[in-house]
Amino acid sequence: MLTLTATARPYIDASVPVLREHGLALTSHFYRRMFAAHPELRHLFNQGNQASGAQQQSLAAAVLAYAANIDNAAALAPVMTRIVHKHAAVGIRPAHYPIVGRHLLGAIAEVLGDAATPALLAAWDEAYWLLAGELIAAEARLYQTVGTTPGALQSLVINRLEREGDEALSIWLQTPEGGSPGAFRPGQYTSVEVTLPEEGAGGGLPPLPPLRQLRQYSLSDAPDQPWWRLTVKREAGLAAGVPGRVSNWLHTHARVGMTLCCSPAFGDFHPELAGDAPLVLVSAGVGVTPMVSVLNTLAMHKTQTTRPVVFLHAARSGRHHALRADLVAARRHLPTLHTLVCYEHPLAEDRLHVDFDRIGRLDLRAALARCLPDGLGEADFYLCGPQAFMRTQWQTLLGLNVATGRIHREVFGPDLLDSLM
């Protein structure tokens, strides 16, 4: 339970409007400051998101959300759980927290100048360590539950590759002995490590050393299989230093027989498969990957599944619809499954198949009226896709009086925490 002292609380409350105005400048300065002092930490952070500014925006939103909701445990709890899983996936250790705290407080002092009084800095020092203590304890429990240590990776062998339309590549991974890499819950992800050639420093300076990077990819098949499958989207037209370098590296370099180093499975986006209330899976683009893991798991255990399952997916066309074969198979094996697939711009070849139902964007309200004609009841909703897509679906569900506790989302990349703002 996060409880500030009476001395610190007024300063944290007063920081909310300041963070709204200066939060991005503060977090940008924080990262520059920390990486200058600790370049060895760059591998823990997505340098593409650093270059694009997405990570700085995400941290600014997180700090603001923390300050604005510090007394609202119900609002902060799911966000903290998500952060704990993300931290564990990249191997965050307790020793990292003093470094972050020192440079965050230093950035506050340097960006705010005279406004950063000793009392304000003391309040933020208290607030930071209050949060850090909660995260350190939760991460320790998660490492123990998973049976791993911070940063531990296992070497896995690629035993199959398959193109999924124009954009995606499915990668099957097994242990060197040919077995499953480990247990996971459908909807979870693994961190994949690659080493990228770093862009040169320029100006006649020696080239920078190769950069180790970790990226998280949802596991896109059922846990019962003797493999893990990742389905990775290629990002088109990438400039240097923007998000997508690791994904494109996998598209270019992955070969059968190659070894990839991966973390255990993490992530709090995993639907409860038992129960009677409808389970509604809403995705767009490569956001289909965790949803297919859920579908395949349900299909393998169809005799144990009685709850209605609604699968709603949006793609630009059939060439951008990954894992289509899995959806076709799920339709055959799951009698409680209702599906609706929308292609925004279907191709001529798409009209020869029955893999999509509607032309245009997904209208969630209309789709639910079709797939759940008796009403939403106590349905649970799981969203995954581009942030703008999920924001639209989130607002639609709120308009249908769905409680926020029944809406779950998986974010590929930094989360701007819209639901807390």
Length of the chain: 421
Give the up-direction half-sphere exposure of residue 288: CA atoms within 13 A in the CB hemisphere: 29
* Pairing outcome for strands 309-315 and 337-343: parallel
What whole-number distance in Å separates Cα of residue 123 and Cα of residue 45?
A: 27
To 10 degrees, the CA torsion angle through 392, 395, 399, 403? 130
DSSP state of 266: B
Q: Report long-range pairs for 5-8 (Cβ below 8 Å, ≥24 apart).
A: 5/126, 7/123, 8/122, 8/123, 8/126, 8/127
Letter string b/e over residues 239-248, b meaning 16 or more CB atoms within 10 A of that residue's CB: eeebbbbbbe
The Cα–Cα gap between 255 and 356 comes to: 32
Query: Which entry of 97, 128, 189, 343 is annotated as an active-site residue?
Result: 97
Q: Pick the catalytic residue: 11, 31, 66, 139?
A: 139
139 is catalytic: yes
Contact 194, 249 (CB under 8 A): yes
Burial call 257-289: b when 16+ CB within 10 Å, e when fewer: eeebbbbbbbbbbbbebeeeebbbbbbbbbbbb
Q: Is 360 helix (H, G, I), strand (E, B) or coil?
A: coil
- Looking only at the bridges linking them, the beta strands covering 358-359 and 337-343 are parallel
C-alpha closest to that of 117 among 230, 256, 11: 11
User: At a CB cut-off of 8 Å and minimum separation 6, what does 193 contact?
Assistant: 153, 212, 213, 214, 260, 261, 262
DSSP string, 214-246: EEEEEB-S-TTSSSEEEEEEPPTTPPTTSTTHH
Q: What are the residue numbers of the active site? A: 97, 139
